A and B are shown apart, each in its own frame.
Chain A
Amino acid sequence: MIRLFSVSRHFNGKRRVTALEDVDLEVARGEMVSIVGPSGSGKSTLLNLIGGLDRPSSGTIHIDGRDLTRLGDDDLTRLRRDKIGFIFQFFNLLPSLNCLENVALPLHLRGWDRRKIALRAAELLEMVNLTDRAGHLPEELSGGERQRVAIARALAFNPPVLLADEPTGNLDSHTGASILALMHDLHDRLDATLLIVTHDPAVAQSCPRTVALRDARLVRDERR
């Protein structure tokens, strides 16, 4: 499903910074992998590269058999839209749109028929148990609720790949646990491939596979 071959990412500023160096990684469909490592080890860069938000300096990335590095901007966006769902630490909801509109955002961008969007968005909100909050703006919700909206948005097209960057990082432990539970639940139900970047050992341990990064290199890959 996901295959990285010798992927490196450098940032060329006044000083060349290596964020990721020669990483090989393969993730099969339906796997649930946690990515751990200290700050600056390259976890987020790895996730951004897999999600097509960023491009590698060298190496190739294949998602579902397609080489991301060869896609143009718009094709990359289309692939992202169809295959990948993002869950961010800070939720990244649009503050001016209510829950339903935020969830419906990718569907609109896809150009779906309005009636179909309404049905699908409601269905998604129900999936994360937020039907009663549909008309609320993000700032009216709790942190856990916002993350659930973000998760619902990520699931809009039933993407085969879900990428979560510190999904519980900005939540208290209780809420974090419930979000983690939701993600496990969804993973089981939807059969998606799930990659979670996390600091939280509890989150890491709940995943069957853990990949560890240190100083831009992949140093450990263990399965439980």
Chain B
Amino acid sequence: MILLKLISWPYARKHLLRATLTTVGIVLGVAVFVGIHLANGSVLAAFNRTVDRIAGKAQLQITAGEPGFDEEVLERVQALPEVGVAVPAIEAPVETGLKGQGNLLILGVDMTGDRSLRDYDLEGEGEQEEVVEDPLVFLAQPDSLIVTREFASRNGLRIDSRLSLGTMEGPRQFTVRGIMRSEGLGAAFGGNLAVMDIYAAQKVFGRGRRFDRIDVAAAEGVSIADCRRAIQAALGPGFQIEPPSSRGKQFESLLRVYSMLMNVNSLFALFIGVFLIYNSFAIAVTQRRPEIGILRALGATRGQIRALFLGEGALAGLFGSIAGVLAGIVMARVLAGYTTSVMQGVYGVSESAREIEASPGLIAAALAMGMAASLVGAFLPARNAARVDPVQALQKGKYQVLTAGENRARRIAAALLAAGALTPLLFTRSRPAFYMGYVMMALCALLLTPTLALWLARLFRPLLRWIRPVEGALAADSLLQAPRRTSATVAAVMLSLALVIGLAGLARAGYAAIQEWLDTTLNPDLYVSASSNLVTRSYHFPDSMTSELRALEGVEEIQRVRSSRILFRGGVVMLVSLEMESIARRTPRRRPVAGDLAAMHRLAAQGKAVIISESLAQLQNLRMGDILEVAAPRGLLRLPVAGILRDYSDQQGSIFLDRSVYLRWWNDSSADIFRIYLKPGVRAEDLKARILERFAGQRRLFVLLNHEVREYILRLTDQWFGMSYIQLAVAVLVAVLGIVNTLTVSIADRRRELGILRAVGGLAAQIRGTIWMEALAIGLISLALGLGLGAVNLLYDIEMARRDFAGMTLDYRYPFGMALALVPILLGAAWVSALAPAETAVRGSLTEALEYE
């Protein structure tokens, strides 16, 4: 400990900037780890709180996926002796038309019976004060609304204030007839929640005589399990009867892909952190060799030297982790935004995580992780420091080679790892084996880096020499002479470049796949949607609208689409009902993944089969001919898979069935989107105008032109793949940090050499040149290795996308555009990194550089 204070602290203080930069990787890794877990945790906690608030005292919730179910189910449930209280609910997000307020979640409940389950936290003086001044008026008037106090005060609303909301008939005025206290239910969704009479809500949102949900409390003395069994027995398999908390689990599963990606990023950042630590410590050991020599000469044991450096490593890790935890808490707020937007996508209203609270467990895990990474990075340099020979270290101008003889062993290990990495890719479907293989591939690349970097440096030497005989040759020689100095940096940059290439390749392939899907499948001229985009589904059209649309001039064909999320095998999937026969006619160019396009549509149209998306097939391991069991309100629907198609409308996978089947089993004739094909010669814009005119003031609808939908989807895709640009930024950062570090050491090591150069007539520009060229050489080597490793990484990424993420089968397309763009970007970064070190090289005292005594 005293050594740390006496020896390490002055050094760290002298190289404060470097010491700080060293920990950047750890900070980043820990920050991302903490950030993502906090963000997910907080949003999930907020969501669960919200679910709890909305669920109130409900012990069970009866649902049948998004389509909901008929009203009569309620009476069947209420009639059960095991059921104490059963109240229906409808949930619908609506646009408020108020600036900056976003959506409002409308909870439609039966106010005559609902008080027993939900705590509306009454606004008013006395405890018994009612939320609603006059319940009779509230029920009698369909424009009645109860808002939260928070929402009311934000928007200056009071009792009897008017508020405009989007309804099935277009925007309508509502009247605030009650204000809830901002606790309990009122605190859900940050106050963006309003309560409405359920029957009025049915009307306003075009739900017909259907409920989304029934909240149940068991009768006194009846266990929840017994109550659940009784309801299940009474209603059949088409209904899910779950405690409210299970909604949180479903939401969690939606976040899974995202969390996984972020965890990979966090791991990667830590990996980079290990390299930065390694790099800096290797430098420190080089620079402090005389000091180590003196310590050894004074009687320090090898163990003490090793402990000294490991101690420094642990400290660096600790500081880095602490900074990382703090940064992570900040990051969590940003990431929570994303998680929240996922939630917005699913529930229409977002619950923002107001408090981000780090649990001690998470902090401990993060600190342990950061310190472990730091120690791993410091291990080799510490070992080398312990091996420093005191006699040689004290002689100036002598360079002790500490790492001879490891190359062979390394190469053999690399070969073994390569074999290990390839095997699972080719021969097994096992997930752990696959990821093991991925890690082995990365390790193999790391082990080979020093050797390959050396080869490349040799290869580049003539080139560099040809460009600038002295500066070039010296730059190359600098790399050749101390491969260890550069290989850590090269390895780190290589890894991050490989990641960039992998992601860019994924993006490219994904983009191509989605483009094809757009071209072959999303080809109607117009879409008429009940919601403002194609994702939310809180409003539905009645079937009667079909004929009204058909009557319009210019319409050739209309396809009704009704999609809703349902539970399938414990997960959430999209159930899409289509007019199969018509769809088959209109989308003949689709390339099926499995099955015959015409045959699958024919079978589906006859109600004898379903078609599933490739993602569902991958994620649920489904094959042609497998019988799907889908729980519907009318019972268990069992149909075979007649075809597998690429479809990217839902990440979790989709089941396509014919509208007739949906009608029969779900008893729901509504539609959320009309796909409209035009008669020849009709302009889409004209028809759009006619549709808007026809339904103006009667129906809430949105008409989207084909190109608008395409742009919307491509924009979503862009956002998703925006990740690869973040990765690019990380790669550049890693490159800059690594190269600055490497050059700093290189200049320290080559001080004399540079002095000689200046003594025999090297101009400042020429000295600078040689440093720059060294940086560029490092950049070039990293590029060569990184772009190469990227090709392999992409292979794994595509496998990963297929097996685990989205169930997408993507073609292997190397992102040459990105690779080309990386060359100037990385070389530019290398050059920028060289600027400061080069100046120190030029400025240093010549006599000191050449000094002997």
User: Which residues of chain B have C-beta atoms less than 8 A from A80's C-beta?
Assistant: 759-761
User: Is A78 part of the contact surface with B, judged by Cβ < 8 Å?
Assistant: yes
User: Contact residue range for chain B?
Assistant: 20 to 34
- Contact (Cβ within 8 A) B847 A77: no
User: Does B850 belong to the interface (CB within 8 Å)?
Assistant: yes
B759 touches A89 (CB 8 A): no
Q: Please tell me if the beta carbons of A77 and B850 are within 8 angstroms of each other in the complex.
A: no
A134-192: which residues lie under 8 A (CB-CB) from chain B? Answer: 153-154, 156
Query: How many angstroms between the C-alpha atoms of A114 and B760 in the bound complex?
Result: 18
B55 at the interface (CB under 8 A from A): no
Asked whether B757 lies within 8 Å of A105 as measured between CB atoms, the reply is yes
B473 contacts partner chain A, Cβ-Cβ < 8 Å:
yes
The answer, yes or no, to whether A81 is at the interface (CB within 8 Å) is: yes
- Whether B850 pairs with A101 at a CB distance below 8 angstroms is no
Bound Cα distance from A106 to B766, whole angstroms:
12
- Bound complex: CA A13 to CA B264 (Å): 52
In the complex, what residues of A have CB within 8 A of residue B850's CB?
A: 53, 88, 92
Contact of B763 among A77, A86, A89 (CB under 8 A): A77
Residues of A in contact with B, size category: 20 to 34
Report chain A residues within 8 Å CB of B763. Answer: 74, 77-78, 109
Closest to A89 in B: B852
Report B-chain residues with C-beta under 8 Å of the C-beta of A101. Answer: 473
B342 interfacial by beta-carbon distance below 8 Å: no
**Do A92 and B853 touch (CB < 8 A)?**
no
| Interface residue? B699 (CB, 8 A) | no
Kindly state whether residue A67 has any CB partner on chain B within 8 Å: no
Contact of B758 with A by CB under 8 A = yes
Tell me the residues in window 748-781 of chain B with beta carbons closer than 8 Å to chain A beta carbons.
752-753, 755-766
Is B481 among interface residues, defined by CB-CB distance under 8 A? Answer: yes
* Least CB distance, A42 to chain B, in whole angstroms: 12
- Does A108 lie at the interface of the complex (its beta carbon under 8 Å from any beta carbon of B)? yes
Chain A at the B interface: SS class: helix
- Whether B759 contacts A86 by the Cβ 8 Å rule is yes
A94 at the interface (CB under 8 A from B): yes
Query: B853 to A94, Cβ gap below 8 A?
Result: no
Which of the residues A45, A54, A109 comes within 8 Å of B761, measured between beta carbons? A109
Indicate if the CB atoms of A48 and B761 lie closer than 8 Å: no
Contact partner of A94 (CB less than 8 A), chosen from B753, B766, B846, B847, is: B753
Enumerate B554-610 residues with CB–CB distance to A below 8 Å: none
B470 within 8 A of A: yes
Distance in angstroms from B475 CB to nearest chain A CB is 10
Assess whether A81 is in contact with B846, with CB atoms less than 8 Å apart.
no
Which residues of chain B come closer than 8 Å to A90, judged between CB atoms? 397, 852
Q: Which residues of A contact B766 (CB under 8 A)?
A: 109
Bound-state Cα–Cα, A48 to B478, Å: 27
Q: Are B761 and A96 in contact (CB under 8 A)?
A: no
| Chain A residue at minimum C-beta to C-beta distance from B466 | A114
Give the complex CA separation of A108 and B472 in angstroms.
11
Interface residues of A in 62-104 (CB under 8 A from B): 73-74, 77-78, 80-81, 86, 88-90, 92-97, 101, 104
Give the shortest distance, in Å, between B25 (CB) and chain A (any CB).
31
**Which of B474, B477, B752 is close to A92, meaning CB atoms less than 8 Å apart?**
B752
CB contacts (< 8 Å) of B755 on chain A: these are 92
Q: Mark B439-475, 1 if CB is under 8 A from A, else 0.
A: 0000000000000000000000000000001100110
Inter-chain CA distance A193–B848, complex, in Å, is: 25
Asked whether, in the complex, the Cβ of A73 is within 8 Å of the Cβ of B764, the reply is yes
B761 touches A81 (CB 8 A): yes
- CB pair A53–B480 under 8 Å, yes or no, is no
Residue A110 is within 8 A (CB to CB) of chain B in the complex: yes
Give which listed residue, B473, B478, B760, B852, contacts A106 with CB less than 8 A: B760
* B470: chain A residues within 8 A (beta carbon): 105, 108-109
Bound-state CA distance A65–B758 (Å) is: 22
Considering the complex, give the chain A residue whose CB is closest to the CB of B849.
A53
Residues of A within 8 A of B760 (CB): 80-81, 86, 105-106, 109, 153-154, 156
B762, A94: Cβ atoms closer than 8 Å: no
Within the assembled complex, what's the spacing in Å between the Cα atoms of A110 and B760?
10
Contact A96 B477, CB 8 Å, known A53-B850, A86-B759, A106-B761: yes
Residues of chain B in range 826-853 having any CB-CB distance to chain A below 8 Å: 845-847, 850, 852-853
Known contacts being A53-B847, A54-B847, is A92 close to B764, with CB within 8 Å? no
A89 to B851, CA, bound (A): 10
Q: Could you tell me the distance between the alpha carbons of A8 and B294 in the complex, rounded to whole angstroms? A: 35
Asked if A39 is an interface residue, CB under 8 A from chain B, the answer is yes
Contacts of B480 in A (CB 8 A): 96
Q: For the complex, give the distance between the alpha carbons of A128 and B360 in Å.
A: 74
**Which residues from chain B contact A48 at a C-beta distance below 8 Å?**
846-847
Question: Could you tell me the distance in whole angstroms from the C-beta of A198 to the nearest C-beta in chain B?
Answer: 14
Residues of B with C-beta under 8 A to A104: 469
* Residue among B477, B759, B761, B765 making CB contact with A97, cutoff 8 Å: B477
Interface residues in chain A, defined as those with a beta carbon under 8 Å from any beta carbon in chain B: 39, 44-45, 48, 51, 53-54, 73-74, 77-78, 80-81, 86, 88-90, 92-97, 101, 104-106, 108-110, 114, 153-154, 156
The 6 A-B pairs of least Cβ separation, nearest first, read A81-B761, A96-B477, A108-B470, A53-B846, A108-B469, A92-B756
A39-B853, A96-B473, A154-B760 known; 6 new pairs, CB 8 Å cut-off, are A80-B761, A86-B760, A92-B759, A96-B477, A97-B477, A105-B760
16 contacts between A and B (CB under 8 A): A48-B847, A77-B758, A78-B761, A78-B763, A80-B759, A80-B761, A86-B760, A90-B397, A92-B759, A94-B477, A94-B753, A94-B757, A96-B473, A96-B474, A96-B480, A108-B469
Using a CB–CB cutoff of 8 Å, the interface residues on chain B facing chain A are: 397, 469-470, 473-474, 477-478, 480-481, 752-753, 755-766, 845-847, 850, 852-853
